A and B are shown apart, each in its own frame.
Chain A
Amino acid sequence: MYEGEFTQEITKSVLSMAERNMDSIGEESNIKRKVFNVMVECLQNIVKHYEENEAPSDRNHSAIFLIGKHQNEYIITSGNPINLDKVDMLKNKLDQINGLDKEGLKTLYKEIIKNNDLSEKGGAGLGFVDMARKSGQKLAYDFEKLNDTTAFFSLQTTISREPSEL
């Protein structure tokens, strides 16, 4: 688990730590790649949000990142404070993604990358789509209201270690 400041440098450290751990237990390369993939999207989401939305003096609501391994799966969770007015937009996006099957996700992915008018920031949920595709499972999320302007957004992705599900 990691809590605190999020930067690209910290993202790289967390990634290489996770890679070393997976290497040391001889994790299958396919699973390793999926875990790496989901971790990058989670961590970079937090970094982007952190750098764009909070003034350095105002970065007191820490974001968190967790990765856990169970016998049959990896669970990757990230959490960060967001503006309350973004909750509906994020919720709609995630519900849309969770409502799609493999083909639907593929189509949505292609639509988003084709669209050049994307804001530099959110990538119109491309990261979420990719996380859903790579994990092959629904994204679990939660929003908890912190105060009148802020909610804590948490997102959990599960990656199965059972080869039969791939």
Chain B
Amino acid sequence: MEILNLEGAEDTPKIILDKNNGIFEISGRSLPEDSAEFYRPILEWLGKYGASPNPKTSFVFKLEYFNTASSKLILDILSKLEDIPGMSVMWYYNEDDEDMQEAGEEFSELVEIPFEFKTY
């Protein structure tokens, strides 16, 4: 499967989705002008991955900041992940960033996926 690799920018996160190497990570800042447009290829990639996933997938979120428009798309991503067997989420937050910790907890309450929380 093709690797999806997006360089991060000031207002968009860095994204690596690599089935063969088992790397699935979204990191950095997410405040794109049009979040639906920005996340569309990621959702499409996950749709294809869901058809023949690895036995286990650990999906890493290591976000420094996301805006409210992105939060809806993050939930869309999580909803896609929810349908993939063997899925787990690693939610990283800066150790003094309670808001990011809480955001992860809220997402974990909205989907049926095991979440692990880690600080960085």
Contacts and interface: CB of A to CB of B under 8 A. Distances in A.
B67 interface: yes
A30 B109 contact: no
B68 A123 contact: yes
B75 A114 contact: yes
Contacts, number: 55
Contacts of A129: 68
- State which size class the interface on B falls in: 20 to 34
Interface in A71-94: none
Given A47-B33, A109-B106, A126 B72 contact: yes
Interface in B83-120: 94, 96-99, 106, 109-110
B65 A36 contact: yes
Interface majority SS (helix, strand, loop, mixed), chain A: helix
B31 A30 contact: no
B36 interface: yes
Contact of A44 (B69, B98, B109): B69
Q: Which residue of A8, A33, A34 has the most chain B CB atoms within 10 A of its CB atom?
A: A33
B58 interface: no
A118 B67 contact: no
A37 B65 contact: yes
B55 to A, nearest CB: 30
Contact of B11 (A12, A29, A118): A12
A162 interface: no
B7 interface: no
A33 B72 contact: no
A126 B68 contact: yes
B65 A113 contact: no
A110 interface: yes
B67 A40 contact: yes
B110 A8 contact: no
Interface string B1-43: 0000000001100000000000000000001010010000000
Contacts of A33: 65, 97, 99
A123 B10 contact: no
Given A37-B65, A44-B33, A106-B106, 18 more contacts: A8-B11, A29-B97, A33-B97, A40-B65, A41-B67, A47-B33, A109-B106, A110-B109, A113-B72, A116-B76, A120-B36, A123-B68, A123-B72, A126-B68, A126-B69, A126-B72, A127-B68, A130-B68
Interface of A: 8, 12, 16, 29-30, 33-34, 36-37, 40-41, 44, 47, 106, 109-110, 113-114, 116, 118, 120, 123, 126-127, 129-130, 134
